Amino acid sequence: MTDYFDNAAEFPDQIYSTSNLIDVLYESTTTISIQSEYIDSIWRDGGLVKKDGYKIDDVVSFVTSTGEFTDINFLVVMSKP
């Protein structure tokens, strides 16, 4: 598998310098599913995946809450023939 995704340590201006910006939920030779709280990371890394022949099949945003914190998350599913 190609390593498309960066972590926050490579971006010194990020608040959480040790966290992953992108979570790869599933990856095979024809399908990839990625998730992040950072929409800019989704589009940047999704663009890298598209260069390898994948196309975006679906984009979903959803809210998660823990105590007093609420986050908006983004999920992108991509595939190629």
List per-block mean pLDDT (blocks of 10 residues) for the chain, which spans 81 residues: 52 48 88 88 85 93 89 93 88
- Residue ranges of alpha helices (H) inside 1-81 are 39-50
Name the pTM for this structure. Answer: 0.71
Tell me the residue type at 52.
D
Strand partners, 33: 26, 77
pLDDT of residue 21: 80
CA distance 35 to 38: 9
Query: What pLDDT sits at residue 3?
Result: 56
Q: Specify the residue for token string 């990625």.
A: 34
A 10 A CB-CB count for 43 gives: 13
Q: How far apart are CA 58 and CA 42, in angstroms?
A: 12
